[in-house]
A and B are shown apart, each in its own frame.
Chain A
């Protein structure tokens, strides 16, 4: 019964995932590639004029923490940090790996994130809430430095945190 409940709730989560946004690639490397079709929702970001530490992604509807004081901590501390965050209201949480990936600008070989994010350009890895399926002691992390890369890190390790809601 418990298994059924978990599966049922997981299946709800599975279909409440991030929408498909454009990758940002506009160069055509070969006719028929991503730069040719540019499929997905338009990329659009703005900084909140009242809560200046918050950037809204208008494609996904997500609000992102973007302040000049990035926190560097373990995964469980990062989860708690987001839960306790009260900037432009509460309801903050760690982003999923997919949500972190929706910010990637695949046309960039330097900082692969929109310039509206003025505090996420460093050589930082950011925690996701998505467990690494081959090792449950690890979760996914995303970097926007030198283009985009993603990896997985032990939960007891330290990374930077950006909360989302």
Chain B
């Protein structure tokens, strides 16, 4: 019985889940077909956050961009034990992260997602927030090994 549920957890993590690649410091989500940057954290104003992602290059791949608010919300873990940080990520922290989506009611504001509680809020673009870049598809240079799957299970079973 216990084995069954461990297998079920493993299966749910393997099929429709996140694959972390330690070498490239990226996480691939096969449900959304998005690859996320998972490296050292940077605090930047909104415009600088866009410039950072636009100029990012990981294992020869340069098509990174700042995620839309919907993309950023897709990695929120509403069931997390201590925060809304997705356990597949090594560097993601429980702080506000900029999205590329401007607030239509005031274009000097943009939406961020706070991985403390998983909520998005509108905030002045001049304020520095954390940055997580994204790109469409799997990185061709990454190993695609399920390196983060086991740690994620251990995290869930704690």
Interface residues of A (CB under 8 A from B): 1, 4-5, 7-23, 25, 27, 29-37, 39-40, 96-98, 101-102, 106-109, 112, 130-134, 140, 146-147, 150, 152
For residue B52, which residue of chain A has the nearest CB?
Answer: A32
For the side of the interface on B, what is the size category?
35 or more
Quick check: B104 and A20 within 8 Å, CB to CB? Answer: no
For residue A106, which residue of chain B has the nearest CB?
Answer: B101
Q: Which of A20, A27, A97 has the most CB of B within 10 A?
A: A20
Complex Cα distance A33/B101, Å?
7
Interface residues of B (CB under 8 A from A): 1-2, 5-6, 8-9, 12-13, 15-17, 31-32, 34, 47, 50-51, 53-54, 65-71, 73-74, 76-80, 83-84, 99-105, 107, 111, 117-120, 122, 136, 156-157
Contact among A4, A13, A150 for B79, CB-based, below 8 A = A13
SS of A interface (majority): loop
SS of B interface (majority): mixed
For residue B50, which residue of chain A has the nearest CB?
Answer: A32
Q: Which of A23, A34, A96, A108 has the most CB of B within 10 A?
A: A34
Q: Which residues of B contact A34 (CB under 8 A)?
A: 68-69, 99-102
Complex Cα distance A58/B148, Å?
33
